[in-house]
Structure 1
Amino acid sequence: MPGKSLDIEALKAFSPLNGLKAENLRALSEKTSVQEIPGGRFLFRKGDTDRRTIYLVSGEVELRDGDRLLSVIEGGTPDARSPLSPGLPRRASARARSRVEFVAIDSDLLDVMLTWDQTGTYEVSELRAGNLPESDDWMTTLLQTKAFHRIPAANIQAIFMRMQQVNFKAGDVVIKQGDEGDYFYVITDGRCAVTRETPLNKEGIKLADLGPGDTFGEEALISHAKRNATVTMVSDGSLMRLGQEDFNTLMNEPMLQWVDFEQASRIVASGGQWIDVRLPSEFESFHQEGAINIPLYFIRLKLKTLDPAKPYVVCCDTGRRSSAAAYILSERGFDAHVLRGGLTMADIESR
């Protein structure tokens, strides 16, 4: 049974949600509901790998390692501001001591929103001077899609920078079935209809209606095949398009130096440095020993404090924000590596 919704002010009580911009908090609140379980039930068990970020709203939860009680978290207290046992696999079991209310947020969605929030200030200001439309609602919609969760965040800014805006009138054909693929498209304003011609229906069978934030055109680019459908404007509108070469390079061929935890440790032991780009509240909750904390949104401002001769291993909780930071560092000549899978997948002894 669906739970009650949680408003924006309630979400602000949790870290790092309190760092999100209003529009992303609003989008998150629409996808988040409060769930309830009775005392004695488990929210999750040690070893679980379900990618959910769980916050306690009310009641008391025990964090346990087998029969050993590690701590008791009470809703509404400072301890409840952070997610319950955020690392994966879970390092503890969470058992409701009383009736509890909690929220479970898709971890990938949250991480995309945090990444966009912390890079978006630069991107939007740079892109507004170029060819992006005034509203960025379509960006938020696009970044919430599962497809975009699979794209390294380091490439997000370059993707938007290289997109071109094109305007269409109602009735215009954007792509035609049977043509060669040339662009990947994102709808920013207006609506499109997707149709496919068959031997029995030359007029075309309607496959879908698309609106702002929806994308199309990628299949032909990935498969190097001809367009398998026709997309026609239902209303006047605007699209952003990305050329085939940029699409293949930025969306299919990540160009970062990814390392696992063992490789990262060797780099640091040989004179390198950990850079943790999460928010200070996340860093204080747990971090790798010896790491310096430079939140992603500060990375450009702190470049002069870094040593160009030193290799850096950039980390966050999943690898998404750290890949964005490493992209910025690499663009400016730093030897930057990204911890694959992030801290949630690493065995961190300092917790």
Structure 2
Amino acid sequence: MLSTQSHVPGNETSFDVALTRTLVPLKDMSESHLEDLLSHSQAEVIFAGQTLFRAGEYDGQHVYLLHGDVRLEFPEGEAIPVKGRSTLLPLAHQQPRAVSATAETDCSVLRIDSERLDQLLTWSQVSDYLQLIISRQRDLDEDVDWMTTVLRSNLFFKVPPLNVEQIFYRLQPKVVHAGDTVIRQGEIGHCCYFIKEGEAEVHRREEAGWTHLADVGKGRCFGEDALVNDAPRNARVRMLTDGVLMVLDKQDFYHLLRAPEVPTLPLKNLPELRERHAVLVDTRSEEEYSQSHLPQAVNIPLSLLAIKSRMLSEEQEYVCYCDTGRRSRATAHLLRQHGYRAHALDDCPQLFSDPQWANTLETETRYVLKEGKARAEQP
């Protein structure tokens, strides 16, 4: 479990994880992914009068105001005050920055690398999607626990989110027995292991003899260093009981690191897409959608895709978008795998940064799916 307070070494302040759990879109991440993200993030104090960021900058960060007051200043001279906790969204995070931000009082802020956030957020939501799909398949009841543990393993955080589902196709079962030595210290490894059933013990040979390091059980992974380097194994792993291991070979791991292609449509084709009645699907969170979205776009967050996909029709064309293209590509990929006519919209960041498109976005009207078409939600 996440602790109630977290601290990033070398930074000026700690931050309340319970508070960050409410931020958008961090609130839609699993605990393990959020914990990894926060371990690479910066919490700091900004004193009154200091600048958080300047208009025109490309800083690649999501900046959240945790406490204190900030003033957002547009190049034309207009200024907007923002009080701490008045918004759960990052401050004017589109790149390049459209405004400058200056602390009106002493503030505490959380800085998160936008690229890492986007990758882990998408990974987390695809993982949640698969967990729900797995839980619906009665023939997989006995596998749910270890498969869920695999999806939460930070070993795969660098795997493109589009390949998350492929992890289970690459894992091969191996039956083992009590007393079997699975890994020998000093050998060069070419695979890692997940324990599906059984328990194992880990020992390391030192000058005084074998030292017991740990016992590992169902869902645990060992030998993963072999996937990323050619160094000799640094310990021995021996089975304590009979069991079943799921084996991931190094070459299969390399295949998982290659993102598959997802059919995309250029942003300039938006007028044509509307003419042929394609349904635009905003895959961001409800809060992000409420801030601004394309006219006539329905909101189907990637985090809720397993539930809301039942509203879709295999005869209808769907075009997915988000603010970076990562969540929308993942959504389109998953929909296509299940027989839907889905594409991802290309050049997504331009939707929110290029005035040609940003000035067309809506904020008031929400749209929902009815009989396969986008309809304005009735108040």
Shorter-chain TM-score above 0.5: yes
Instruction: Give 2:12's aligned residue.
Output: 3
Unaligned runs of 5+ in 2: 1-9, 135-139, 205-219, 362-379
Instruction: Give 2:22's aligned residue.
Output: 13
How far 1:267 moved relative to its partner? 3.5
Q: Residues 19-34 of structure 1: matches in 2 within 5 Å?
A: 19-34=28-43
- The one-letter code sitting in structure 2 at the alignment partner of 1:319 is G
Corresponding position: 1:155 with 2:163: yes
How far 1:292 moved relative to its partner? 0.7
**Distance in 2 (alpha carbons) for counterparts of 1:184 and 1:321:** 30
**Distance in 2 (alpha carbons) for counterparts of 1:213 and 1:74:** 47
The alpha-carbon distance between structure 1 residues 314 and 271, as it changes in their structure 2 partners (threshold 3 A), is same
SS in 2 for 1:68: coil
Corresponding position: 1:74 with 2:83: yes
Instruction: Give 1:317's aligned residue.
Output: 323
The alpha-carbon distance between structure 1 residues 302 and 251, as it changes in their structure 2 partners (threshold 3 A), is same
The alpha-carbon distance between structure 1 residues 268 and 45, as it changes in their structure 2 partners (threshold 3 A), is farther
How far 1:280 moved relative to its partner? 0.5
The alpha-carbon distance between structure 1 residues 5 and 294, as it changes in their structure 2 partners (threshold 3 A), is same
The size of the alignment, in residue pairs, is 316
- The one-letter code sitting in structure 1 at the alignment partner of 2:304 is F
SS in 1 for 2:268: helix
Asked which structure has the greater CA Rg, the reply is 2
- The one-letter code sitting in structure 2 at the alignment partner of 1:267 is L
Q: Retained in 1: the 8 A contact 2:25–2:89?
A: yes
Per mean C-alpha deviation after superposition, the further-off stretch among 167-176 and 34-43 is 167-176
How far 1:256 moved relative to its partner? 1.2
Instruction: Give 2:105's aligned residue.
Output: 98
Instruction: Give 2:122's aligned residue.
Output: 115
How far 1:56 moved relative to its partner? 0.4
How far 1:68 moved relative to its partner? 1.9
Q: Retained in 2: the 8 A contact 1:6–1:32?
A: no
Instruction: Give 1:290's aligned residue.
Output: 296
Per mean C-alpha deviation after superposition, the further-off stretch among 323-332 and 36-45 is 36-45
**Distance in 2 (alpha carbons) for counterparts of 1:290 and 1:165:** 47
Unaligned runs of 5+ in 1: 194-210, 220-226
Instruction: Give 2:69's aligned residue.
Output: 60
Instruction: Give 1:200's aligned residue.
Output: none
The alpha-carbon distance between structure 1 residues 297 and 37, as it changes in their structure 2 partners (threshold 3 A), is closer
Q: Retained in 2: the 8 A contact 1:132–1:165?
A: no
Query: Percent of aligned pairs with the same residue?
Result: 25
**Distance in 2 (alpha carbons) for counterparts of 1:123 and 1:83:** 28
Q: Retained in 1: the 8 A contact 2:63–2:91?
A: yes
**Distance in 2 (alpha carbons) for counterparts of 1:192 and 1:68:** 66
How far 1:242 moved relative to its partner? 3.8
How far 1:293 moved relative to its partner? 0.1
Instruction: Give 1:223's aligned residue.
Output: none
- The one-letter code sitting in structure 2 at the alignment partner of 1:301 is I
- The one-letter code sitting in structure 2 at the alignment partner of 1:2 is N
TM-score, normalization by structure 1: 0.73
The alpha-carbon distance between structure 1 residues 33 and 9, as it changes in their structure 2 partners (threshold 3 A), is same
How far 1:50 moved relative to its partner? 2.5
Corresponding position: 1:141 with 2:154: yes
The alpha-carbon distance between structure 1 residues 91 and 130, as it changes in their structure 2 partners (threshold 3 A), is same
- The one-letter code sitting in structure 2 at the alignment partner of 1:73 is V
Q: Retained in 2: the 8 A contact 1:191–1:212?
A: no
The CA RMSD over aligned residues, in Å, is 3.8
TM-score, normalization by structure 2: 0.68
Partner residue of 2:90 out of 79, 83, 87 = 83
